[in-house]
Each structure stands twice: as structure tokens, then as C-alpha cells.
């Protein structure tokens, strides 16, 4: 696929790509619609405090992690068209409740539920994989994710203007948020009728069980359990922070911890229920896949997307304090880190497509992140500002490119499990953000840059040891196993029996 092909909108796959990144763009626009209106909210609602908004910010990412896992399972069962449409329509409800909420409970709960909208990322990844062949998937996924992630920046740029000039008054922020929610719901309905799950004749291959990821060996099952525990376990850090801020009692925190333990236990039971019968029966050789590759890509998304979310949160203050800049100037310079996303992420996927070796590209990007953040750790007020900005952009280029390269590999690992694998890797990005942001509260910016550089280097080592080049990574079609065909035949018989 060439870059110029994205303008050929009459091609069905290109049209599907545009429809899907627009959906992703809108969901991220709604997800991050609070931060740019925070000052307006404080002026409008006299009982709201800055600490309340910080709590809402934590809630805004809280349920994204489990939601990405659950949505990943739903994708493999219902397909991305239905899941994306339903997600957009359903999530417009908490967005509207937040817009017109008049109590602390209404705002808190609605923002908590709305955080599930972050799962939209894995839906589009799956839909894009349905439309594009393995040899083109890197650029397609990067283009989708690059423009989609730009939705958060677009919200920051446009929402204050909409609130102040289109609606105005004390409640302008409410109508601006409500407008974004209504647009999302309307697009969700449109998306249902405007797209299909892949080109005509495409077979939507499903896993045998959607409640847990299938694996190929007993050893892989143990690894899956170990990699599953942090996905929900990391929510304990959020509970600890909320309790420390005084918004949750010790009893309430204990209940939350118990719920987290119960959910983790339930997930482990589901992994055993799905995989023990499969492994006892034996997995055909042509259906096996390397779980180590999934684990390696979990670590890359932890180290690149997790670092991105954390760095974006602290970079403006770092520039402001280190070079004595105004808040506006520091914000504009720091924004360069996010804006690089528009070009670097699609380029990461494109390079992954063109180099003929997706593993080498992944390793190169992760090593580049290590070097970039280590250089940022060396920066201080004696450095010329222009050099510091250049290193920041250089580092961002590798961070965003690594994100694109990660999802350039995932669809080729195991076709019928793409939704679950995407959900797991995507969730690890949020796990990384929670861990890194928590660490940042205890260290200086310089120490923080060295820590995330170390995290990227550890991920590079894991990729060196575990990541394998996908067998069908550059083929015209995804690899189909004997089990895929068997499941397809069982589904055909089931549908035939249902119609007779």
C-alpha cells in the first residue's frame, strides 16, 4: 500500500479505513473532553474543586484497562462493526450525564463509566485488520491510530472555543460536552449501516471461546496467567491513590481491593476452563502460535504508549520550570510530542511493511526510545532550548513509530484471536501509563526519564528473546489453520440448522 492510496476513497478498503479512523477520532475526542474545559467547570460549579478534577482525571482512565479486555473478547464474538457502533451509542449516555450532572456522585460515576470508551482503540485495530492484507496492515493500522489519537488534541484545541463562543455563558462547557456526545451517538448509528466486517465474502473467524485467550502449550497457559494478573491488578494502584487523596474510606478501599482480587481469580478460572480441555486434547501443529510474541508486544506497548501518556502529562511543566518559560510557550513546545503522532505512527507501520522484517523494525524502534529518553534525562537549563526540542521530537518519533510497529505485527500472530491479543496489548499501554504516572509522583523529571528509558530497554531485551517474525507477516492472505477451517465448518452447520 502506498501513501497516495489513502486518497482513493472509492476503494472499499480505503473507505473502510476512513470510516474507522473517524469513529476512533470521535471517541478519543469525547474521552478527553473534560481537561480543556476544566477551568470553565471550576468557574461554573461553585462546589467543584481542583482536587475533584484530579480525581476525575484518574477515573477517566480507570476502567479503560478492563474495558479493552472485555471489548477484545466481544470483538471476536460479535465482530467490530457491531461492537464499535454499540460502544459509541452506549458511551454517549455517561457523556451526557457528565455534561449535565449536578452532584459529585453523578460526575464521578459518569466519568468512571465513560473511561470504558478508551476500548475503542482495539475495535478499530480489529476492523482494519479485517480489511487489509498482511503486507499492508502496518501502514493501515498506523494511519488509523495516528489520526484517531489526534482526537484528544483536537478536543483541546476546539472545545474551549465551542464552549465560549458557540454557546457562551456559565453552562457553555456543558453544551460543548453534550454536543460531542450527540455527534458520537449519531456516528455510531451511521457506522452500523455504512460498513461491513471486511470485504464481501470475508469469513469472520472466531475463537472457540471468547472468555479467555487460547494458548498452544501448558507453559504458555502459565505465562498467560502471569501476564493477566497485572491487567486488573494495576487498578489497586488507582484505588490506593484515590484513598490517599481522601475520596475513599479505608473500608471502601478494602472492598475495592477484594473486588479486584475476585476479578483476577475469575479471569484465571476462565483461562483454565478454556485451555485445559484444549491442551488435554492436543493442539494441531498448524494451529500453534508463540505466546512469547504476545508477551513481548505487551511489553512494547507498556513501554511506548504507557510512556507517551505519562510524558504528555508532565512535559509542559518540565519545560516551564527548566527553561523558565511561560505556561503558554511550554504548552506549545510540549505539544510537539503529541503532534508528531500524526506522521510518526503511520510511518512506523509503513516501515514495518516495507522493511520485510517486522521484528527488526520493532527492535530498532524500542532501542531508539531507550536512547531518546536517556538523552532527555541529560537535558537541563544549560542546554539550548532548540536542542532540547529537537531531542523531544526525536524521542517522540520513535515512541509513536514503535506504537505503529506493535500493531503492525499483532494481526499476523493468530488471525482468529486478533481481537483478544489487541485488547491485551492495548490494555498494557494503560497499565504502563498508570505505573509510570505513579512512579513520577516519587521522583524528579530527570530520574523519571531514565526510568522510562530503562523500561524501553527491558522491552527491547524481551523482544530480542521472545518476539518471532510472524509466518504470514507479508503474505497476501492471513494463515488459516485446520482448526480455523473446523470452526468455520461448525459455524456453517449451525447456521444451516438454524434456518431449517
pLDDT digits (tens, 9 = 90+) for 341-366: 777 777 777 777 777 788 898 999 99
Q: Identify the pLDDT of residue 473.
A: 64
Domain that holds residue 106: 1-196
Q: What is the mean pLDDT of residues 162-182?
A: 89
For 167-171, 368-372, 383-387, 485-489, which range has the lowest pLDDT when averaged over its residues?
A: 485-489
Q: What is the pLDDT of residue 327?
A: 65
Is 257 within the bounds of a domain?
no
Q: Determine the pLDDT at residue 192.
A: 96
Rounded mean pLDDT, 83-104: 94
pLDDT tens, residue by residue, 419-478: 788 878 888 988 888 888 778 878 898 999 999 999 999 999 999 999 998 777 666 667
Average pLDDT, stretch 59-72?
79
pLDDT at 262 over 70: yes
pLDDT of residue 237: 85
Burial of 277 (0-12, 13-18, 19+ CB in 10 A): exposed
pLDDT given for residue 206 in this prediction? 62
The pLDDT value given to residue 452: 95
Q: Which residues contact 220 (CB under 8 A, 6 or more apart)?
A: 291, 292
Give the pLDDT of residue 481: 77
Q: Report which of 55, 134, 212, 122 is spatially closest to residue 476, judged by C-alpha positions.
A: 134
User: What is the model's pLDDT at position 227?
Assistant: 94
Task: State the pLDDT at residue 476.
Answer: 67
Indicate whether 258 belongs to any domain: no
pLDDT at 203 over 70: no
pLDDT digits 0-9 by tens, 280-319: 998 888 888 899 999 999 999 999 988 887 887 677 778 8
Q: Higher confidence at residue 315 or residue 392? A: 392
Residue 34: what pLDDT? 82
Q: What is the predicted pLDDT for the residue at 209? A: 66
Of 67, 412, 425, 467, nearest in space to 228 by CA:
425
Report pLDDT digits (tens) over 70-80.
Answer: 887 788 778 89
Q: Is 266 left (phi over 0), alpha (psi -120 to 50) or beta?
A: alpha
**111 located within any domain:** yes
- Identify the pLDDT of residue 91: 96
Looking at every residue in the chain, the average pLDDT score rounds to 85
- The answer on pLDDT for 210 being more than 80 is no
Residue 23 within any structural domain of the chain: yes
For residue 191, tell me if it sits in a domain. Answer: yes
The pLDDT value recorded for residue 299 is 96
Q: Examine residue 353 and state whether it is found in any structural domain, yes or no.
A: no
Least confident of 3-12, 18-27, 438-447: 3-12
Least confident of 154-163, 205-214, 259-268, 406-415: 205-214
| Residue in 202, 200, 187, 180 with CA at minimum distance from that of residue 114 | 180
Overall domain count for the chain: 1
Alpha helix (H) residue ranges in 234-357: 235-244, 250-281, 291-322, 327-339, 341-354
Q: What global pTM score does this model have? A: 0.80
Q: How far apart are CA 395 and CA 300, in angstroms?
A: 15
User: CB atoms < 10 A from the CB of 165, how many?
Assistant: 9
Residue 1 has pLDDT above 70, yes or no: no
* pLDDT in the model for residue 257: 94
The reported pLDDT for the residue numbered 74 is 84
Residue 485 lies in a domain: no
So what's the pLDDT on residue 217?
94
> Could you tell me if residue 359 is inside a domain?
no
Show the cell assigned to 231: 491487567
For residues 221 and 51, the model is more confident at 221
CATH code of the domain covering residue 154: 1.20.1250.20
Residue partners of 450: CB distance under 8 A and separation at least 6: 373, 374, 377
Q: What is the mean pLDDT of residues 189-201?
A: 89
pLDDT of residue 86: 96
Amino acid at each position: 500500500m502506498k501513501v497516495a492510496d489513502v486518497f482513493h476513497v472509492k476503494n472499499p478498503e480505503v473507505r473502510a479505513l476512513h470510516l474507522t479512523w473517524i469513529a476512533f477520532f470521535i471517541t478519543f475526542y469525547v474521552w478527553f473532553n473534560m481537561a480543556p474545559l476544566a477551568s470553565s467547570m471550576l468557574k461554573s460549579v461553585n462546589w467543584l474543586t481542583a482536587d475533584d478534577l484530579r480525581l476525575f482525571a484518574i477515573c477517566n482512565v480507570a476502567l479503560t484497562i478492563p474495558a479493552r479486555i472485555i471489548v477484545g473478547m466481544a470483538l471476536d464474538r460479535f465482530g467490530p462493526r457491531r461492537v464499535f457502533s454499540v460502544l459509541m451509542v452506549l458511551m454517549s449516555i455517561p457523556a451526557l450525564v457528565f455534561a449535565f450532572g449536578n452532584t459529585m456522585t453523578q460526575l464521578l460515576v459518569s466519568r468512571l463509566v465513560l473511561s470504558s470508551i478508551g476500548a475503542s482503540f482495539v475495535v478499530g485495530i480489529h476492523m482494519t485488520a479485517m480489511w487489509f492484507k498482511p503486507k499492508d496492515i502496518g501502514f493501515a493500522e498506523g494511519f488509523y491510530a495516528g489520526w484517531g489519537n489526534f482526537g484528544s488534541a483536537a478536543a483541546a484545541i476546539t472545545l474551549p472555543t465551542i464552549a465560549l463562543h458557540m454557546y457562551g455563558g456559565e453552562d457553555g462547557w456543558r453544551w460543548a460536552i453534550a454536543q460531542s456526545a450527540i455527534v458520537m451517538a449519531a456516528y455510531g448509528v451511521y457506522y452500523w449501516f455504512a460498513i461491513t466486517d471486511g470485504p464481501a465474502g470475508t469469513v469472520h473467524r472466531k475463537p472457540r471461546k471468547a472468555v479467555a485467550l487460547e494458548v498452544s502449550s501448558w507453559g504458555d497457559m502459565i505465562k498467560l496467567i502471569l501476564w493477566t494478573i497485572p491487567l486488573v491488578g494495576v487498578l489497586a494502584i488507582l484505588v490506593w491513590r484515590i484513598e490517599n487523596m481522601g475520596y475513599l474510606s479505608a473500608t471502601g478501599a478494602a472492598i475495592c481491593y477484594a473486588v479486584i482480587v475476585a476479578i483476577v481469580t475469575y479471569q484465571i478460572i476462565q483461562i483454565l476452563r478454556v485451555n485445559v480441555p484444549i491442551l488435554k486434547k492436543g493442539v494441531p501443529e498448524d494451529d500453534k502460535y508463540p505466546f512469547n510474541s504476545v508477551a513481548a508486544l505487551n511489553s512494547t506497548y507498556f513501554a511506548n504508549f504507557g510512556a507517551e501518556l505519562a510524558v504528555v502529562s508532565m512535559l509542559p511543566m518540565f519545560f516551564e520550570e527548566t527553561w523558565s518559560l511561560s505556561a503558554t510557550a511550554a504548552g506549545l513546545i510540549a505539544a510537539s510530542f503529541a503532534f508528531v503522532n500524526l506522521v510518526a505512527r503511520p510511518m512506523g507501520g509503513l516501515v514495518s511493511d516495507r522493511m520485510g522484517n517486522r521484528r527488526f523494525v520493532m527492535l530498532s524502534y524500542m532501542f531508539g526510545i531507550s536512547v531518546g529518553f536517556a538523552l532527555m534525562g541529560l537535558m537541563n537549563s544549560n542546554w539550548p532550548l532548540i536542542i532540547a526540542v529537537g531531542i523531544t521530537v526525536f524521542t517522540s518519533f520513535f515512541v509513536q513509530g514503535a506504537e505503529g510497529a506493535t500493531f503492525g505485527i499483532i494481526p499476523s500472530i493468530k488471525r482468529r484471536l486478533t481481537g483478544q491479543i489487541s485488547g491485551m496489548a492495548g490494555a498494557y499501554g494503560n497499565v504502563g501509563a498508570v505505573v509510570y504516572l505513579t512512579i513520577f509522583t516519587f521522583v524528579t523529571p530527570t530520574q523519571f526519564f531514565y526510568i522510562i528509558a530503562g523500561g524501553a530497554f527491558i522491552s527491547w531485551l524481551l523482544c530480542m528473546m521472545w518476539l518471532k517474525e510472524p509466518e504470514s507477516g507479508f503474505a497476501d492472505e492471513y494463515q488459516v489453520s485446520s482448526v480455523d477451517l473446523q470452526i468455520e465448518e461448525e459455524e456453517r452447520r449451525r447456521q444451516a440448522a438454524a434456518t431449517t
